Amino acid sequence: MSVPEIACRLRVSQTAVYGWRKRWQAGGEQTLASKGPGGSRCRLDEGRLRRLADALEQGLAAHGFGSDQRWTRGRVSDLVARMFRTRHTLWGTANIMYRLGWSVQVPAHRAVERDEAAVTTWRRETWPAGKR
């Protein structure tokens, strides 16, 4: 099969196919085996991840954050830095949170003057009338 045809079928560049062919010719099929996921490894071992999960379960107030807020990537990143003296990017922190079964939350910023009763009434009465 030609290199362009292989590249088309696998939806990769021809350069990738040429690289694979070169490795296969030099070392055989075992050189094409996956080396695992790319990127750097998590700097937190299983024990530290368990400690972090316990800390998240304790809530924000236990760690100096307001009790009416949610865990965000920035707050979890700060907590990890305080607990383990290591910094993670916000995306790396999000990956750790997903790994622990947590989802990234965005705190709701609402105006202090907001009248919840008026909003509820508007949603029930005015909005449906406007949709018609």
23 occurs within a structural domain: yes
Residues 50 and 28 in one domain: no
**Structural domain range at position 21:** 3-32
Residues 51 and 11 in one domain: no
User: Into how many domains does the chain fold?
Assistant: 2
Q: How far apart are CA 40 and CA 115, in angstroms?
A: 48
15 occurs within a structural domain: yes
- pLDDT per residue as tens digits for the range 23-74: 999 999 999 998 887 777 788 999 999 999 999 999 888 998 886 678 889 9
Give the Cβ contact number of residue 3 at 10 Å: 14
Percent composition of the chain: helix, strand, coil (DSSP 3-state, to 5): 60, 0, 40
119 occurs within a structural domain: no
Q: How far apart are CA 129 and CA 132, in angstroms?
A: 5
pTM (global) more than 0.75? no
